């Protein structure tokens, strides 16, 4: 196998980067897997939670775009936080993403599995063993596509995203036509009013809402494989991140309104991960309503693919810098992908799926993994926000626009994420705390082992 200098450079343009960012947030998947959880937590204030979390996430997006100007790096947050605050902080920024990605292999593949069983064997949908087994098949299939090369991945994403977008637009238009006069939940300014939120309600809704937006930063992990002709904008990767997050802010807010006007609270609770099917069934006759099931499967496959890309590139970059064992920096000589790191997330995902098959219900698996992932997202993204604000602190004297874009917005977003994470810890059950905080603390083991093996390392590749 080749050494690490083998990623396929200049493979992704702006359009492909935008598609990757949209696919990373997985519109249909995010709505399907998270809506029941957030509505159960904060009710109609779900709309405001998503809107305000979108504004918070956009501040983090600006941080990633500006930090990418230091140098394109497959490690993204790991490399740039390490450049600003030192290698240990960089390591834990990368570790937070790695752990969240592994848990995501459960919360992402399960909706694909349940949707598949809805089509093929509806009586098995509530069986955790059958769901986990079907999820394992999906994980294996997607891993094979990702391992074959970044171009294969981008072509797959483009096809899946076009199909997904067409179905979701049909659902949005159909819902507003049918329920504009008699909505299940009458729209109100209360849904987005800041005074409707207490600190606890905001933190509870925000931790789940953050899960909606997570995944766009895969574009930044692909920055070494993206074109860099857009000077000053972070290259194609930065442009892709910018537009994908803006589009998703608009889409998720509208889609939450669609769910609330089309379904009552009991419908939402009963639908669980099949929320799009529940909406489609209200709008379209069979078998056309089952296009929503295909939409969920397509979106889920897309986000599994992007998350494997994100994990493998982060692990590759960390191993390249000897913050993890160098074996994970191996790149396939023909496909130019970090194949060892890709196999790692496949193996860990299979292990977690096997373990989750013994949990009492599919719903419990999803709720615990979503909250734990939300905590870890807050951790590593807040580090990136603070790193951007500190690195560009001199921009405070460069005029209001630069001060807000480079320093104030990223810093405020990072502060909100810290608040959300800390405020939520006491509300977690033991399993969620073990998965969320415990998953981060385990990072001390590989960090100390590699420091002992190689000595204290400087993050070489993140230096200008």
pLDDT top residue among 363 and 204: 204
Residue 377 parent element (H or E): helix 362-391
pLDDT in the model for residue 256: 92
- Look at residue 2 and give its three-state secondary structure: strand
pLDDT in the model for residue 2: 43
Domain assignment present for 3: no
CATH number at residue 445: 1.20.1740.10
Domain assignment present for 335: yes
For residue 441, pLDDT beyond 60: yes
Q: Which of 152-166, 307-321, 335-349 has the highest mean pLDDT?
A: 307-321
Domain assignment present for 183: yes
CA distance 436 to 78: 18
pLDDT top residue among 341 and 10: 341
For residue 462, pLDDT beyond 50: no
Domain assignment present for 394: no
Asked if 234 contacts 221 with a C-beta cutoff of 8 angstroms, the reply is no
Rounded average pLDDT over 161-190: 89
Rounded average pLDDT over 248-274: 87
- Look at residue 226 and give its three-state secondary structure: strand
Residue 273, phi then psi, degrees to nearest 5: -85, 0
For residue 181, pLDDT beyond 90: no
pLDDT in the model for residue 383: 96
Q: Which of 196-205, 248-257, 366-375, 419-428 has the highest mean pLDDT?
A: 248-257
For residue 74, pLDDT beyond 70: yes
For residue 173, pLDDT beyond 90: yes
Asked if 214 contacts 417 with a C-beta cutoff of 8 angstroms, the reply is no
Domain with 63, as residue range(s), is: 14-379+420-462
For residue 231, pLDDT beyond 50: no
List the Cα angle 362/364/370 in 5-degree steps: 100
For residue 402, pLDDT beyond 80: yes
Domain assignment present for 404: no
Asked if 342 contacts 13 with a C-beta cutoff of 8 angstroms, the reply is no
Cβ partners under 8 Å of residue 194, min gap 6 = 48, 52
Domain assignment present for 402: no
- What is the distance in angstroms between the CA of the first residue and the CA of the last residue of the chain? 28
For residue 107, pLDDT beyond 80: no
Under the banding of pLDDT at 50, 70 and 90, the label for residue 461 is: very low
Rounded average pLDDT over 28-39: 83
pLDDT in the model for residue 411: 97
Average pLDDT, the chain: 82
For residue 160, pLDDT beyond 80: no
Domain assignment present for 398: no
Q: Which of 139-143, 166-170, 421-425 has the highest mean pLDDT?
A: 166-170
Under the banding of pLDDT at 50, 70 and 90, the label for residue 458 is: very low
Domain assignment present for 452: yes
pLDDT in the model for residue 91: 93
pLDDT digits (tens, 9 = 90+) for 109-158: 777 787 788 878 888 877 777 888 888 888 888 888 777 766 556 666 77
Number of domains present in the structure of the chain: 1
For residue 217, pLDDT beyond 70: yes
Q: What percentage of the chain carries pLDDT values higher than 70?
A: 88
């Amino acid at each position: 196998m080749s050494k690490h200098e083998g990623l396929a450079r200049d493979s992704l343009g702006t359009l492909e980067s935008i598609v990757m960012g949209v696919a990373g947030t997985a519109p249909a998947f995010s709505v399907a897997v998270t809506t029941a959880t957030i509505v159960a937590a904060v009710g109609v204030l779900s709309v405001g939670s998503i809107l305000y979390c979108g504004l918070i996430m956009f501040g983090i997006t600006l941080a990633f775009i500006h930090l990418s100007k230091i140098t394109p790096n497959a490690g993204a947050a790991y490399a740039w936080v390490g450049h600003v605050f030192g290698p240990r902080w960089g390591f834990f920024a990368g570790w937070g993403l790695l752990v969240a990605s592994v848990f995501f292999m459960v919360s992402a593949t399960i909706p694909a599995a349940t949707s598949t069983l809805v089509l093929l064997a509806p009586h098995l949908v509530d069986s955790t063993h059958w769901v986990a087994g079907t999820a394992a098949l999906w994980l294996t299939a997607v891993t094979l596509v990702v391992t074959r090369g970044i171009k294969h991945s981008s072509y797959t994403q483009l096809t899946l995203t076009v199909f997904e977008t067409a179905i979701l637009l049909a659902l949005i238009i159909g819902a507003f036509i049918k329920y504009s006069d008699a909505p299940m939940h009458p729209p109100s300014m209360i849904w987005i009013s800041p005074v409707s939120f207490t600190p606890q309600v905001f933190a509870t809704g925000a931790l789940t809402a953050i899960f909606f937006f997570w995944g766009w930063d895969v574009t930044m992990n692909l920055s070494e494989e993206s074109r860099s002709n857009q000077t000053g904008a972070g290259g194609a990767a930065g442009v892709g991140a910018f537009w994908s997050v803006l589009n998703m802010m608009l889409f998720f807010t509208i889609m939450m309104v669609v769910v609330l006007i089309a379904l009552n609270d009991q419908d939402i609770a009963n639908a669980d991960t099949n929320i799009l099917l529940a909406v489609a069934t209200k709008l379209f006759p069979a078998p056309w309503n089952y296009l929503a099931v295909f939409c969920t499967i397509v979106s889920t496959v897309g986000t599994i693919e992007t998350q494997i890309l994100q994990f493998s590139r982060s692990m590759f970059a960390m191993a390249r810098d000897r913050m993890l064992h160098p074996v994970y920096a191996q790149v396939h000589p023909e496909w130019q992908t970090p194949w060892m790191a890709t196999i790692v997330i496949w193996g860990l995902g299979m292990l977690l799926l096997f373990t989750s098959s013994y949990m009492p219900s599919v719903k419990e698996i999803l709720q615990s993994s979503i909250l734990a992932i939300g905590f870890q997202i807050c951790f590593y993204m807040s580090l990136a926000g603070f790193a951007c604000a500190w690195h560009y602190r001199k921009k405070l004297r460069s005029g209001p626009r630069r001060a807000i874009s480079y320093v104030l917005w990223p810093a405020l977003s990072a502060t909100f994420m810290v608040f959300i994470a800390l405020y939520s810890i006491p509300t977690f059950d033991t399993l969620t705390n073990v998965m969320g905080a415990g998953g981060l603390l385990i990072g001390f083991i590989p960090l100390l082992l590699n420091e002992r093996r190689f000595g204290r390392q400087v993050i070489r590749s993140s230096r200008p």
